[in-house]
Amino acid sequence: MFEKVAAQRAALGAYENLHFAGNFVTGAEIAAAINKVTPSTYKVVGLPWSLFQVLGIFDPMMREILTMRYLWQQPHQLVDPKLDAILGPDFGTPFERAIAETIYSLLPEAELETIKMRRAA
């Protein structure tokens, strides 16, 4: 991505605000995709917002986290036609592949072996 943007630097201003859209999915869709590629099923629980409110009385960081709560509750997407034009129509990694590759890079070797055995069967 950076290489494609850098190649266009002569056409860009001194400062550009470019938003990479990425994948537009909900938290539930992310959790489902993770559970699809892992040998174990992970339980998803909500954030303890009431606890954050209590802690926010004493901790400025918790107060700030509460101000960002809407980002967890409302779907939102970054859109940037200018960056899309620079990157081209097929730029990016499909969502399922991105999740799988990320998860596989984080799993212990034993779990990776379990996944390989299941695929081979």
- Ranges in the chain, pLDDT < 70: none
The answer as to whether 56 is a domain residue is no
| Rounded Cα–Cα distance for residues 106 and 121 (Å) | 23
The answer as to whether 57 is a domain residue is no
The answer as to whether 86 is a domain residue is yes
pLDDT of residue 13: 87
pLDDT of residue 110: 83
The answer as to whether 65 is a domain residue is no
Which domain covers residue 88, as residue numbers?
2-45+76-120
Phi, psi of 5, rounded to the nearest 5 degrees: -70, -45
| Rounded Cα–Cα distance for residues 47 and 69 (Å) | 10
The answer as to whether 81 is a domain residue is yes
Q: How many domains does the chain have?
A: 1
pLDDT of residue 27: 84
| Rounded Cα–Cα distance for residues 78 and 92 (Å) | 14
pLDDT of residue 91: 84
The answer as to whether 25 is a domain residue is yes
The model's pTM is 0.70
